[in-house]
């Protein structure tokens, strides 16, 4: 009788409510069965696996991506806008390089650390941002915040020319050349030789760190390393990024960021490069062909990409390394992740999630603060500094 007298809206009717509830239940079942999964842990060393299971349990727990934005591209695009930016007070240091250049380091000394009041023995984490990233990136700030709660000191390695400092020579950086990173590592270690020391690299920073570790083996002051969203095979990465949708969403923007990072140094760089041609690049591959590969003396872009691909050096890594990737990361396609190679090195552990995108790993209904990547970082760093003796004898 009431329905015949009162107009009931669609959502207010029994049919509408049933459809909404039905869709919700169906989506929840799909999410729990197909989206929320335990990561795949790839490691040939049983001792390393047990170490991670005990002291870094997050790598064996189900990862629940944010229910309304679990797709890789969406996570990648939204993370910079959603996640908070913890306040960090840096102390800047400029160090000179052998070729006359300079590198900007941003220190978070954590002098208020109650766990490690003695600065000489305070554990130190070296952080390497992504391709055009600096110490101001939100993921770097969150890593420092996590380290602060544990009492550790951090130092951020800003690649040449992108953190506000001037280029003193016509040289920037690339994923393959590890000379600047070697200088920074030895500089930091010389300042605090008694302090436990490890590093964490994100995206290109992770690639650079892996290439360094593959070159040095065990001959490094670093105790261990954490790698996040590294591009393992550069050929596969650029091919993925050149697909139409990925070019539109990521490649073109990243290319303009690279061009912007060198444009203010144009007067210095024009001594060696046709900057008008470099600024016409519309893809990362074109930029690397006209600029990066030429700067570092490669005969071709293929030679540069082969040298820059960490998958080719993974067998030579000589210290414990934990690498986190998502299999839906368009910057590092799943088929290019060197699973079989990792199994041949007892020092390497891969953690592969089904979702997370590129430096995304958002979780929770409103992922403003801690991400899955942050939790992996915090637990692994703490495990190395406080229980590392259990894996260093591997």
What residues act catalytically? 203, 329, 358
Of the candidates 200, 249, 220, the one whose C-alpha atom is nearest the C-alpha of residue 317 is: 220
Enclosing H/E stretch for 369: none
Whether residue 269 contacts residue 275, with contact meaning beta carbons closer than 8 Å, is answered with yes
Residue 145 tokens read as 């915040």
CB 31 within 8 A of CB 24: no
Residues across the chain:
394
* Alpha-helix runs per DSSP H in 89-150: 138-150
Interhelix angle for 234-241 vs 301-308, to 10°?
A: 110
Q: How far apart (Å, rounded) are the C-alpha atoms in residues 55 and 380?
A: 7
- Lookup: tokens for 116: 């490690």
Select from 345, 358, 279 the least CA-distant residue to 312. 345
Long-range contacts, 364-370 (Cβ 8 Å, 24+): 364/66, 365/66, 365/67, 365/68, 366/82, 367/66, 367/82, 367/83, 368/82, 368/83, 368/84, 369/83, 369/84, 369/142, 370/142, 370/146
| CA distance readout (Å), 28 to 23, 31, 33, 171 | 8, 5, 8, 52
Can you point out the beta strands (E) in 295-380? 321-326, 348-353
DSSP single-letter state for residue 37: B
Dist. CA 72–CA 362, nearest whole Å: 10
Looking at the chain, which runs of residues are DSSP E strands?
40-42, 91-96, 102-108, 124-128, 153-158, 197-202, 225-228, 321-326, 348-353
Under 8 Å between Cβ of 377 and 143: yes
What is the DSSP code (8-state) at residue 161?
T
Exposure of 40 by Cβ count < 10 A (0-12 exposed, 13-18 middle, 19+ buried)? middle
């Amino acid at each position: 009788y009431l329905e015949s007298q009162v107009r009931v809206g669609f959502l207010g009717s029994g049919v509408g409510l049933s459809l909404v509830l039905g869709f919700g239940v169906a989506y929840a079942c799909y999410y729990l069965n197909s989206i929320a999964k335990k990561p795949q842990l790839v490691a040939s060393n049983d001792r390393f696996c047990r170490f991670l299971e005990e002291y870094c349990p997050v790598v064996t727990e189900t990862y629940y991506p944010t229910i309304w934005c679990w797709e890789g591209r969406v996570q990648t695009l939204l993370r910079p806008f959603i996640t908070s930016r913890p306040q960090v007070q840096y102390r800047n240091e400029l160090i000179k390089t052998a070729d006359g250049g300079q590198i900007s380091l941003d220190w978070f000394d954590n002098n208020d650390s109650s766990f490690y009041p003695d600065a000489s023995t305070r554990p130190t984490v070296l952080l390497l941002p992504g391709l055009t990233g600096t110490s101001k990136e939100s993921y770097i700030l969150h890593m420092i915040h996590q380290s602060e709660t544990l009492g550790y000191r951090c130092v951020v390695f800003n690649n040449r020319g992108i953190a506000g400092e001037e280029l003193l020579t016509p040289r920037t950086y690339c994923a393959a050349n590890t000379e600047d990173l070697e200088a920074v590592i030895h500089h930091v270690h010389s300042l605090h030789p008694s302090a436990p020391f490890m590093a964490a690299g994100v995206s290109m920073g992770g690639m650079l760190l892996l290439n360094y570790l593959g070159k040095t083996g065990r001959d490094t002051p670093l105790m261990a390393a954490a790698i996040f969203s590294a591009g393992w095979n550069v050929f596969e990465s650029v091919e993925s990024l050149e697909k139409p949708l990925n070019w539109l969403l990521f490649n073109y923007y990243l290319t303009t960021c690279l061009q912007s990072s060198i444009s203010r140094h144009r007067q210095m760089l024009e001594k060696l490069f046709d900057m008008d041609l470099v600024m016409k690049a519309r893809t990362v591959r074109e930029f690397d062909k006209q600029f990066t590969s030429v700067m570092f003396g490669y005969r071709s872009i293929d030679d540069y990409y082969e040298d820059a691909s960490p998958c080719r050096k993974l067998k030579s890594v000589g210290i414990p390394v934990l690498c986190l990737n998502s299999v839906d990361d368009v910057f590092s396609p799943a088929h290019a992740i060197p699973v079989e190679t990792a199994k041949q090195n007892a020092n390497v552990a891969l953690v592969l999630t089904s979702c997370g995108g590129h430096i995304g790993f958002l979780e929770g209904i409103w992922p403003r603060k801690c991400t899955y990547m942050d939790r992996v970082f915090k637990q692994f760093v703490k495990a190395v500094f406080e229980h590392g003796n259990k894996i260093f004898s591997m």
